[in-house]
Amino acid sequence: MIPAVHEVALAQQLNHGTSFPLIYQAEAELQDIDAVAAWVQANQQLLLEQLAERGAILFRGLPARSDLDFDRVVQSLGLANFSYAESLSNAVRKNRTERVFTANEAPPEVEIYLHHEMAQTPVYPSKLMFYCELAPSSGGATPLCRSDAVLSVLEERAPEFVSRCEQEGVRYTNVMPASADLASGQGRSWHSTLSVATKAEAEARLSALGYGFEWLVDDSLRATTSALPAIRRLDDGRRVFFNQLIAAFRGWQDARNQASKSVSFGDGQAIAESDMRIVCDAGEELTFDLPWQTGDIALVDNFLVMHGRRPFQGKRRVLASLFD
């Protein structure tokens, strides 16, 4: 099955002969959200196969007009929820429904660089779904980038860096504020990030996760992860550059954090800035900027594809939901 949509082209990236992302335009028969939910349910298996192969699918022209409509589509996919409240995400978000929340509350001029969702923590979702409730007047695309393609490029341009990533893994250091900092893309407070009320509880949680930590004078909390894998092997054998290095190196800059110091190899040794430049350039070269139209829904495989957020002007409301 699958019809009720047809494939369209939008100057995508080419990866191993197929276009990335896969873009579907809805036919008129998907006229209301009930029809969409039934169609998604009926095609669940095929959609998930296409997602695993291509990494991202954009659905355009669906009659999804509200957060509740989006919630319907999310539920119709029939996958378990990955809850933001229990995650260790650093982003400030607001829930609309139990499964749907605002993607990131950081100010419009702040760019959120390419990353695999929550790959800087030991727990991450396998898939993400985005919904454009309101397209911005300019900018605000969601960059999407295949990490298998990035890894192939890096193996040519920086083989030594790749083998150190593979052997050592990487660590991330982030200073979390005592209360939410809405000016930052990493502004979630340590209370909320760790789901704790007291410092003692925070310490217990971090210790259980294998993090190192240090309290700072303003009650902010510097936390360093254990060595986390930087390269991952997918079920089908493909190797991917699965981590949060680009976002951390380019973007974890705020009143508390210095971006270039936020990452290291797993043994604690610094990653050369020249290597990180090669990584960031490869990411930009291989990125497809998804230009949102109001009503668009996109499904992203978090193990295969990185995402981010370009700066924008005007209002932009993109909602998200995560799958376990």
Residues forming the site for Fe ion (CB under 5 A):
117
Exposure string of 144-177, with b = 16+ CB inside 10 Å and e = fewer, is bbbbbbbbbbbeeebeebbebbeebbbbbbbbbb
Give the integer Cα–Cα distance in Å for 181 and 189. Answer: 7
The bridge status of strand 56-60 relative to strand 22-26 is: parallel
In the bound complex, what is the minimum distance in angstroms from residue 34's beta carbon to Fe ion?
Answer: 30
User: Residue number with the shortest CB distance to Fe ion?
Assistant: 117
Give the integer Cα–Cα distance in Å for 37 and 75. Answer: 8
Q: Which residue has the tokens 């139990």?
A: 98
In the bound complex, what is the minimum distance in angstroms from residue 118's beta carbon to Fe ion?
Answer: 8
Torsions phi, psi for 151 (to 5 deg) = -60, -40
In the bound complex, what is the minimum distance in angstroms from residue 112's beta carbon to Fe ion?
Answer: 7
CA 29 to chain centre: 32
Beta-carbon contacts of 12 under 8 Å, excluding residues fewer than 6 positions away, are: 19, 20, 21, 23, 288
Nearer to Fe ion, 67 or 117 (CB): 117
Nearer to Fe ion, 43 or 120 (CB): 120
Nearer to Fe ion, 212 or 311 (CB): 311
Nearer to Fe ion, 130 or 161 (CB): 130
297 in Cβ contact with 142 (< 8 Å): no
The string of DSSP letters for 199-210 reads HHHHHHHHHHHT
In the bound complex, what is the minimum distance in angstroms from residue 157's beta carbon to Fe ion?
Answer: 26
Identify the burial level of 296 via C-beta atoms within 10 angstroms of its C-beta, where 0-12 means exposed, 13-18 middle and 19 or more buried: buried
In the bound complex, what is the minimum distance in angstroms from residue 63's beta carbon to Fe ion?
Answer: 26
Closest CA to 51 of 114, 127, 132: 127
Nearer to Fe ion, 43 or 257 (CB): 257
In the bound complex, what is the minimum distance in angstroms from residue 309's beta carbon to Fe ion?
Answer: 8
Nearer to Fe ion, 60 or 116 (CB): 116
Nearer to Fe ion, 117 or 133 (CB): 117
Nearer to Fe ion, 117 or 181 (CB): 117
Strand order in the sheet with 212-215: 212-215, 221-224, 170-176, 263-265
Q: Residue 123: CA atoms inside 13 Å, Cβ hemisphere, count? A: 16
In the bound complex, what is the minimum distance in angstroms from residue 117's beta carbon to Fe ion?
Answer: 5
As beta bridge partners, residue 5 has: 26
